[in-house]
Amino acid sequence: MLPATGPHPHPYYSIEDAFVNVSFRDAHGDVRRICVRHKVTGDGHALVLVHGLMTSSYSWRYVLEALGRRYRVFAPDLVGAGLSDKPLDLRYSVENVARFVAAYVRTVSKEPVYLVGNSLGGLYALRALMLRDPSPERERAVARRFVLMHAPGYPLVRTRLLSTIFNAPALGAAAAELVARTAHRFPEQFVAKNVHYARQDMMSAEECLEYGRLFETLDGARVFAKILEESLDPEEHAAIIAELRERAQRGPRLPCPVKILYARRDVMVPPSFGPRFHDDIPGSEFVWMDDTSHFLQVDAPERTVHEIAAFDPLEATSASA
C-alpha cells in the first residue's frame, strides 16, 4: 500500500513547465539535439540543479522556492528523464550525459553558474567540470561553484554485479528487458521500492506517479535500463576517479571551488564516499548532514538551502548589501 500524501507542500506544479533545445556533441562526435523540460524560477545569479537516477526536476521540489528567493534557478529533466527527450540510440555514459549537462548550462546562462548535483547527477556534474574540449564554444567555464551531494563513483559491489549481469552474453539483454518490462508494468511500485528517504512517510503517491511517468511507455523504461547499464559502468567511474586523483597531484585542478554534502546514513550510496571525494578534491569543503539520507534536498530542505547559500560569496555579498 502506497502512502497517500507527502508531509510538505511544495510549489513544483505552480511553476510553469518550460522547454529549451540543447545541442551537444557526444563522445563519438555525433551532434545531438535534445528538447529539455525544465523548471525556471527566481531572480539573481544562475543556479543549476542536476537530479539523479530515475528522478527528475521534481527531486528539487522542496528547495525551489527558497533558492528562487536568492537565485535564478534552473532545474532540468536530464536527457532520458522526466519530460525531456529520451533517445534510445544515445549511449547514456557519464561522459555523454556530462556533455549534455555542460551544453545545457551554456544554453541557459552566458556566465558560469552555481552548479549543484545530487546522486548520479552529482557525478554527471563533476564530470562536466572535468571535460576538456578545444572547440571555441566550450572555452567558457561551466561553473563558478559546485556542490556535490551523495554521488557514486568509488567501487561498489552492487554496481559491479549489475555491470557483470548487463554485460553477460545473451543474459545481459534479457536482464535489461526484464527491468524495463517490470518498471513499465508496475511503475508506481517500482518507484516506491527504489527511492529511499530517512523517514518512510516522505514517500507519497504523488511522487510515485511523477517518477512513474518515465515508465509509461516501454521505450521510456528501456531508456532507464540503458542508464542503469551505461551510467553505472564501474570501469568508467574508476577512470573518472583516476583522473580526479591525477588532477589533484599534477593538475589542472577543478576549475571552481567544491563543497561536498553527505548524510551519515544511506542505503543507496555509502556515506564513506563523501570523505573519499573530499580527499581526492584538494581544497574542497566537506559537511556531514545529520538525520538525512540519500536525497538531502527532500529529507532536509532548509538545511540544504542553507549549505548551498553559505558556500556562495555572491549570495553573502547580496545578503549584506
State the average pLDDT over residues 276-305: 96
Q: Which of 99, 79, 97, 28 is nearest to 223 (CA)?
A: 79
Q: Tell me what pLDDT residue 136 has.
A: 46
State the average pLDDT over residues 136-152: 84
* The residue to which cell 534479457 is assigned: 174
State the Cα–Cα distance between residues 1 and 40, nearest whole angstrom: 34
pLDDT band, very low/low/confident/very high, at 319 (cuts 50, 70, 90): low
State the average pLDDT over residues 218-228: 97
pLDDT band, very low/low/confident/very high, at 320 (cuts 50, 70, 90): very low
Is residue 300's pLDDT more than 60?
Answer: yes
Is residue 91's pLDDT more than 80?
Answer: yes
Q: Tell me what pLDDT residue 318 has.
A: 58
CATH class, range 23-155+238-320: alpha beta
| Domain definitions of the chain by residue range | 23-155+238-320
* Torsion angles phi and psi, residue 23, rounded to 5: -110, 140
Q: What does the pLDDT look like over 44-75, one tens digit per residue?
A: 999 999 999 999 999 999 999 999 999 999 99
pLDDT band, very low/low/confident/very high, at 316 (cuts 50, 70, 90): low
Q: Where are the beta strands (DSSP E) in the chain?
A: 17-25, 31-41, 46-50, 72-76, 113-118, 143-149, 258-263, 285-289
Percent of the chain with pLDDT over 70: 94
Q: Tell me what pLDDT residue 134 has.
A: 45
**Spatial contact of 204 and 151, defined as CB atoms under 8 Å apart:** no
Cα angle value 57/63/66 (rounded, 5°): 135
Look up residue 95 and give its three cell numbers.
561522459
Q: Tell me what pLDDT residue 4 has.
A: 43
pLDDT band, very low/low/confident/very high, at 317 (cuts 50, 70, 90): low
What is this structure's pTM? 0.95
- Residue 319: exposure state from Cβ atoms within 10 A (0-12, 13-18, ≥19): exposed
**Spatial contact of 122 and 237, defined as CB atoms under 8 Å apart:** no
User: Which H/E stretch holds residue 139?
Assistant: none
**Spatial contact of 254 and 146, defined as CB atoms under 8 Å apart:** yes
First to last CA, the chain: 51
**What value does the mean pLDDT of the chain take?**
93
Q: What does the pLDDT look like over 161-204, one tens digit per residue?
A: 989 999 998 899 999 999 999 999 999 999 999 999 998 888 99
CA diameter of the chain: 63
Is residue 128's pLDDT more than 90?
Answer: yes
Q: Which of 74, 72, 80 is nearest to 52 (CA)?
A: 80
Q: Phi/psi zone of residue 246: left (φ > 0), alpha (ψ -120 to 50 degrees), beta? A: alpha
Q: Tell me what pLDDT residue 135 has.
A: 47
State the average pLDDT over residues 135-160: 85
Q: What does the pLDDT look like over 224-279, one tens digit per residue?
A: 999 999 999 999 999 999 999 999 999 899 999 999 999 999 999 999 999 999 99
